[in-house]
Amino acid sequence: MVFVMEGELDVGFITTANVLVSKQITKGEVFVFPRGLVHFQKNNGKVPAAVISAFNSQLPGTQSIPTTLFGASPTVPDDILAQTFQISTEDVQQIKSKFASAKKF
């Protein structure tokens, strides 16, 4: 959940049926993300936004999808990522190279 104290955000999530649900929220508004769904929030204003966020657990955890897919160790096979994103394996390798430094220890 996010509560906007200042500024404005574009927020949204993708349902399990791959439907995007999105909205622009401004000062004083709240948006709730369903548990376990891929979601985003982006400052859409000309000034910094301030938000209060809440999670449904003491240890909610987060997972960066790009880092998870392209920086995993061992790596996700190039052909699987290429087919998933409908790009070439060369493009996958180029993207993976950008996440090489993001690997966990």
Give the residue-averaged pLDDT of 74-89: 92
- 63-68: long-range pairs with CB below 8 Å, 24+: 65/38, 66/99, 67/99, 67/102
Is 75 annotated as a binding-site member?
Answer: no
Q: How many CA atoms lie within 13 A of 100 on its CB side?
A: 7
Taking the C-alpha atoms of residue 66 and residue 55, their distance in angstroms, rounded to an integer, is 22
pLDDT at 48 over 80: yes
Give the residue-averaged pLDDT of 6-22: 90
pLDDT on residue 102: 53
pTM over 0.75: no
Taking the C-alpha atoms of residue 69 and residue 33, their distance in angstroms, rounded to an integer, is 22
Taking the C-alpha atoms of residue 105 and residue 102, their distance in angstroms, rounded to an integer, is 9
**Cβ distance 101 to 70 under 8 Å?**
no
Helix (H/G/I), strand (E/B), else coil: 75: coil
